[in-house]
Structure 1
Amino acid sequence: MTEESVGRPEDVGAPLDGGLDGTWSDEAEWSEFDGVEGAEDAADGGPQPVLAVVGRPNVGKSTLVNRLLGRREAVVQDQPGVTRDRVSYDALWNGRRFTVVDTGGWEPSAKGLQAAVAQQAEMAMSTADAVLLVVDAQVGATATEEAVARVLRRSKRPVLLAANKVDDERTHADAAALWSLGLGEPRPISGLHGRGSGDLLDAILDVFPDVPHEQFGVTGGPRRVALVGKPNVGKSSLLNRLTGEQRSVVHDVAGTTVDPVDSLVELDGEVWRFVDTAGLRKRVRTASGTEYYASLRTKAAIEAAEVAVVLIDASEPLTEQDLRVISMVIEAGRALVLLCNKWDLVDDDRRRRLDNELDREMVRARWAERVNVSAETGRSVAKLAPVLRTALESWDTRVPTGRLNSWLSDLVAASPPPVRGGKQPKILFATQAHPRPPTLVLFTTGFLEAGYRRFVERKFREEFGFTGSPVRISVRVRERKDGRKARR
C-alpha cells in the first residue's frame, strides 16, 4: 500500500502509549510524505481553455492528440472510425493547462451512424475556445476539407490548420498546398514522430483567450464521476438520460463505447462531470487490439475520477466481471456507488436473489451506496445525486487526530493486537494521513496482522461512518534504538 503525507510526529497529538522516544528516523523518513496533498490540490485549477481537434476520418487526429498530450490516451488503430464520441483529455504545455477534445471523423454529408459522429464533432467545436483542423498533407485538401473549411471560416472561434503526416523535409511542399483552404498558415506536423509538435503547441496557447468561454462557477471544477461496468449494462444510456441528449452512441451490440466520454451534467442544482467508459470484458493483460487500449483508458478514467458509479445489470446474476470492476475501483481508492440498472426488468423473485448475491459477494464493499434505477425509463435516476454527495463527503472527511487517538486508545484497551512471535505489538499513536481516500497511519512497535487491521477498519467505520468510501490502514513500525526496524 502506498503511504502518503501524514504530517510530522510533533504535529499529530498525544501518543497512545508513552509517546515518541526518538527511535523513529528523523527528517529523512518524513520527507517522502511531504507535499502530496498540495500537489493534488494544485491539479484542480479553475476553468481550462478547450481545444477541439476535428477532421475527416483517418487523418491521424487521435495520434496527434496523443502527441499533444505527451502520453497515450486516445485509442489509435490503423482503420477509420475508431473514435466515435467526443473525448476530453487534460493537457499541460509551458506551465499552462488546457483541455483537448478528440472527435470522430467529421463529414458534413454523412448519414446514419457517421452523421451522429459528425454531430458530436460539431458540438465539440461550438463549445471550444479554439479549433484545430487536421488534414492529411499527403492526400491534400479534399472536398470534405473544403466543406469543413467553409464552416470554420464562418465560426467565431480561432482556427489552426495542422498539416499532418509531414514526416520529413520532402513533404513540406504538400503542407504549403493547404493555404488554399483559407484558414491561415498550414502548420506541418507529424503526429506519429512528433515533428513540429512543440511549435504547434506554442501556437495553440497563443490563440487561447485569457478567460475560457464556458465557466460553471464551481470552485476547483465539477466533481468527477466515472460510469464503469461490464459491456451492455447501460452506461451510455444512463449518461444520455442524465444529459437529456445523445451524448454517447448507444447500440444493442456490446462494446459501442471505446474511448471515455465526458459530459457536464447538472443534477439537483449542482454541475457534475460524468465520464462514460468502455465496458470491461477481460483483464487488461488478456485483452487485445482496441479492447486492450479501451481497458487501459477505462482504468485511467477510474483513477482520474473522484467517485465511480459501477453499473450492474439487475436482471442478470452477478458476474466475475462485475466483481472485478468493483475491485478496480476499491484498489484505485475512489468513492463507490453501486447502481443496479434495468430495474424495470426485475420481478420480486429476482430482487430477493440479487440481495442475496450482493450480501454474499460484496464482502469487500458492503459500505458502498446502492441505487436501483432504470436508465431506459428514468426510474429513480434522481436518487443518484444524493448518494454521490454522501459518498464524496465520506471520501473528503478527515477525523481530527485527538479524537482519533482517544477512540483508538479505548479500542486497543478493550481489544489489544494479537501476540506475534512471543511479543505483543503496541499502537503508540495514529493519525489520518489524508482524505481521498481516508488513510489511517498507525505507528506501532511491531507488525499488525491483516485480521487486526480489518478489525480496526470495521470499528472505525462503526464510529465515524465513511459510507461510500474505502478506508485504508497503513502501519509504520518504529525503529529500534540500534537503527533496525522491528521484525515483521
Structure 2
Amino acid sequence: MKKIAIIGLPNVGKSSLFNRIAKQRIAITSDFSGTTRDIKSHQVYITEKPCLLLDTGGLDKSTELFENVHTMSMEAAKVANIIVMVVDGKMRPSDEEKKIFYALQARKKPIALVINKIDNDKEMERAWEFDEFGAEFVFPISVSHNRGVSALLEWIGELLPEVEGATPPPIEAEDESEEDDLDDEDEYWDNEGVVDDEEEPLLEEIKEEVETNQINVAIIGRVNVGKSSLLNALVGKQRAVVSSVAGTTIDPVDESIEYEDKVINFVDTAGLRRRGKIEGIEKFALMRTKEMLERANIALLVLDTSEPFLELDERIAGLVEENHLACIIVLNKWDNPLADFEKITAEVRDRFKFLSYAPLITVSAKSKQRVAKIKDMILSVYANYSQHIPTRQLNEIIKNATIKHQIPSDHSKIVKIYFATQYLTKPPRIALVMNKPRSLHFSYKRYLANKLRENFNLEGSPILLYPRAKGERDNEQENSGAES
C-alpha cells in the first residue's frame, strides 16, 4: 500500500489537512506550535484507492524534544512513496523551508508543494511568492475552507495504483463538536479509584461475540514514567518520540505487531496530570486517552519505581477499573529502583487493592530488560479476559460457596441465589439470578469472585457479577453489578 507523508514546519496546517483527507477528526489540531510530535498513520481512500496517510511532527530543531520530532518526520519521508510538503501561505517563504523542500526533492519521489491558508482569490497573490521553490506540482489551498483540496487529491489519486476489489468505507461525518467539549476531562477525576456499581443489561444466554485476532493494549500512566520508551521497546523500533520533557506525547501513538497467532495493537496514550495542571492541547490529549481506553482490552499501567508513587497514580489506575479492562502493572525504571522488590510490591498491592488481580512485572524500558516477557503476559491475560466459564462448573462453585458461607439475610428474610450464568466475556460478566438481588452485599460479591478465581485462571482480568431477579426480562436494567 502506497504511503503519503505530510511534511512541513510547525503550525502550517499538516494535521488539519490529514483530518480533511481522512474525513474525520483523528489528529489533534490547535494553534499551539508543535502540537503533533509522533507519526500518526491512518488508512484512507483517495479517488477510491487505498493508501496510508502519515501525519508528521513539525520540522523544528529549536529544542532537544523537537529535534527528535524533526528526525522522526524526515524518517517518515524516507519510507513514503509520495510527499506532500505544506507551507503557510500567510507567511513569506523561508530559507529553512526551501532547504527542506530541496532535500525532499532530492529523494526523487513525487512531491507536491501545498500552500495552505489561501482563503480567497485575493490571497492568491501571496502564493506566487513560492514560485522560487521551483516546484513542479504546486497546490494553493485552504484546508479550513476546503478550497483547492480536491485538485491535490486528484493529483495523488493519479499516482496510486488500481486495486481490484477495494471498496472504500462509508464516509463518516466530521465531528464538529470536539472543540466545544474541552471540559470532558473532569470525568477522569470524579472517582477516587473506586467505581460505583453500574447498571448492566442482563441476558439469559451468552451473547454471540465477534472473535477477533487483534488485542488492543493501552499504555497508561502519569507523565514521564517511560510509556513511550516502553512502546518503542515492545515494537522494536523508534515509534514514539522520547524526551525528558513531561507531556511529550499528545496524540495517542499506535503500532501493531504480530506475536504468536495474534496481532497486538499497542497505544501509547498521553501522560495524565492533575486536573489543575492540565494546559492547552493536553485537554485534547485527555479526550483521546478516554477514547482509546473505551476500545482497549488490556491496560499496561506503567509506574515509575525510581521515585515515590503518587495519589495521581491511583487515580489513573482507577481508569482501568472504570473501563473494565484487563491489566498488567509494569514497574518501570527497575535499573534504578527507590527500594527493594518486596517493599515496592507490598506498596503497590496496598495502594492498588482494586487491581489485586493484575500481575506485576519489573522492567527497564530504557535497557529493554525483561520487556519481551510482557508480550507473553498479554497473551495469557487476554485468554483469561476472553474466558467463558462452563455453566455447570460455575453453578457448582457458587452453590458450594453459599453452603460454606451463607448469604447474610435481609431483615430476617432468606436471600437465595437460584443459579448463575455467564452472558458476556471481555471481561467475564456473570448474572446471579436471585430472589432478592438488591440484598446481596458488595462484600459477598467479592467473596464469590474470589471463589471463582480459586477455581479458574482469571489472573489479569476483572470479574463482573450482576445480581438480578428471577424472571426479569432481558432488556430490564434494574440491578447493579460489582467488579472484582
Q: TM-score range by the shorter chain?
A: 0.7 to 0.9
**CA 1:209–1:187: 2 relative to 1, 3 Å:** farther
CA contact (8 A) 2:225 2:304 kept: yes
Q: What residue in structure 2 maps to residue 314 of structure 1?
A: 305
Q: What residue in structure 1 maps to residue 196 of structure 2?
A: none
Identical aligned residues as a percent: 33
For residues 298-337 of structure 1, the aligned pairs below 5 Å read 298-337=289-328
> Structure 1 residue 312: deviation in Å?
0.9
SS of the equivalent of 2:218 reads strand
CA distance in 2, matches of 1:130, 1:417: 67
The letter of the residue matching 2:89 is A
CA contact (8 A) 2:257 2:263 kept: yes
Which whole-Å deviations, capped at 9, do the CAs of 1:69-102 have from their partners, x for residues lacking one? 5555433332322322213457689999875432
> Structure 1 residue 379: deviation in Å?
2.5
> Structure 1 residue 289: deviation in Å?
1.3
Q: What residue in structure 1 maps to residue 28 of structure 2?
A: 75
**CA 1:183–1:301: 2 relative to 1, 3 Å:** farther
> Structure 1 residue 236: deviation in Å?
2.6
SS of the equivalent of 1:345 reads coil
For residues 140-289 of structure 1, the aligned pairs below 5 Å read 142-150=94-102, 162-168=114-120, 170-171=122-123, 182=135, 184=137, 186=139, 188-191=141-144, 193=145, 209=161, 223-264=215-256, 272-283=264-275, 287-289=278-280
> Structure 1 residue 140: deviation in Å?
6.6
**CA 1:62–1:423: 2 relative to 1, 3 Å:** farther
CA distance in 1, matches of 2:78, 2:296: 25
The letter of the residue matching 2:423 is A
The gaps in structure 2 that reach 5 residues or longer are 165-210
> Structure 1 residue 339: deviation in Å?
0.9
Q: What residue in structure 1 maps to residue 342 of structure 2?
A: 352
**CA 1:415–1:85: 2 relative to 1, 3 Å:** same
CA distance in 2, matches of 1:202, 1:387: 47
CA distance in 2, matches of 1:75, 1:299: 14
SS of the equivalent of 2:364 reads coil
CA contact (8 A) 2:65 2:245 kept: no
Equivalent residue for 1:385, pick from 360, 364, 375 = 375
Q: What residue in structure 2 maps to residue 120 of structure 1?
A: 72
**CA 1:77–1:440: 2 relative to 1, 3 Å:** same
**CA 1:427–1:168: 2 relative to 1, 3 Å:** farther
What is the alpha-carbon root mean square deviation over aligned residues? 4.2
> Structure 1 residue 414: deviation in Å?
4.9
**CA 1:433–1:127: 2 relative to 1, 3 Å:** farther
**CA 1:78–1:342: 2 relative to 1, 3 Å:** same
> Structure 1 residue 413: deviation in Å?
5.2
CA distance in 1, matches of 2:215, 2:479: 43
CA distance in 1, matches of 2:420, 2:3: 44
The gaps in structure 1 that reach 5 residues or longer are 1-47, 213-218
**CA 1:222–1:94: 2 relative to 1, 3 Å:** farther
The letter of the residue matching 1:336 is C
SS of the equivalent of 1:63 reads helix
**CA 1:97–1:451: 2 relative to 1, 3 Å:** farther
SS of the equivalent of 1:376 reads coil
CA contact (8 A) 1:429 1:444 kept: yes
Q: What residue in structure 2 maps to residue 397 of structure 1?
A: 387
Which whole-Å deviations, capped at 9, do the CAs of 1:223-246 have from their partners, x for residues lacking one? 433322112222233334445554
CA distance in 1, matches of 2:479, 2:264: 47
CA distance in 2, matches of 1:202, 1:455: 63
SS of the equivalent of 1:442 reads strand
CA distance in 2, matches of 1:96, 1:445: 59
**CA 1:155–1:353: 2 relative to 1, 3 Å:** same
Q: What residue in structure 1 maps to residue 198 of structure 2?
A: none
Moved more, 123-132 or 294-303: 123-132
CA distance in 2, matches of 1:230, 1:484: 39
The letter of the residue matching 2:71 is Q
SS of the equivalent of 2:361 reads strand
TM-score (norm 2): 0.72
2:128 aligned with 1:136:
no
Which whole-Å deviations, capped at 9, do the CAs of 1:103-137 have from their partners, x for residues lacking one? 11136x98965443222113323445654433323
**CA 1:198–1:404: 2 relative to 1, 3 Å:** farther
**CA 1:286–1:240: 2 relative to 1, 3 Å:** closer
The letter of the residue matching 1:359 is R
CA contact (8 A) 1:176 1:186 kept: no
CA distance in 1, matches of 2:95, 2:304: 45
SS of the equivalent of 2:301 reads strand
